Amino acid sequence: MKIFVTGTAGFIGFHLARRLLADGHEVTGYDGVTDYYDPALKRARLALLGQERGFRPVEGMLEDAAGLSAALEQSEAEMVIHFAAQAGVRYSLEAPQSYVQSNVVGTGNLLEAMRVAPPRHFLFASTSSIYGGNTKLPFAETDRADGPVSLYAATKKAGEAMVHSYAHLFGIPSTCLRFFTVYGPWGRPDMAPIKFASAILEGRPIDVYGHGQMRRDFTYIDDLVAAIDRLKNLPPEIGKSVAHDSLSPVAPFRVVNIAGGRQTELMDFIHAIETALGQKAELNMLPMQPGDVVETQSDTALLQALIGHLPETPVEAGITRFISWFRDYYRKET
């Protein structure tokens, strides 16, 4: 199958593209390789994908409507998977326009490009941050999610709304994937695992927000990719629902959480990193950051109903694999 994937130089897009290529699909990867974080890491990911038969990279920005449309048309894609975005909750306080342009305008450009030749399935990367300050746990896809507490979450919510409208108006079968704290090898350097591991090895204190009282539904990258790989073959159809479904009554559209449904205390996550490194962390305990939430947990009933499988890698095992990659890529030694 020919598949168009945006964000293939990014963390999750890279891993999914590698899985698709290994399965024999042809992948056109569209990415702007921006400098939000070290482009060398992005280039290293693309270099690995470039070694695989069937990969065709296109460098371009989502905001370039003409370039994006041309790349999509040339790919002759039967499926479109949209991961490219300006990521990060905290950075949205510093550079709000980059989120609006990439996540709202860019997503709108892609949706417009798909009108010409709608794919058999469009998958859109969303986020658990959409649930905002919800106090009901676990978060279910049918819960209200109209109170985002960060601009990043707001732009993703806007993206979901646009995707629904295009699914309704133009019959594009669409699935919005809400990710829960994804981690693993080749992760972003602005995410906690790399920040914590680097600081511990360099003898610097790590900033622990929420005074360490936060809890997250951590999802290991390989588990996430396995779930997406199964979901890609399940385009929504109006009137064909499953148990616990979020299927729209007026469009071939659904929202799906991807996570294991298990909470991990932040301090336990830090302890797993300490154990894998064989070195204790110096902790700098701080209050909650603006735009952050105390805890997340996914309701996994819909995911299980659709694919019969849930992310299951224990945090300790996932962190061990992450640290192995981290030491190799950054040549870090104790």
Catalogue the active-site residues: 152
> Is 173 within 8 Å of 235 (Cβ atoms)?
yes
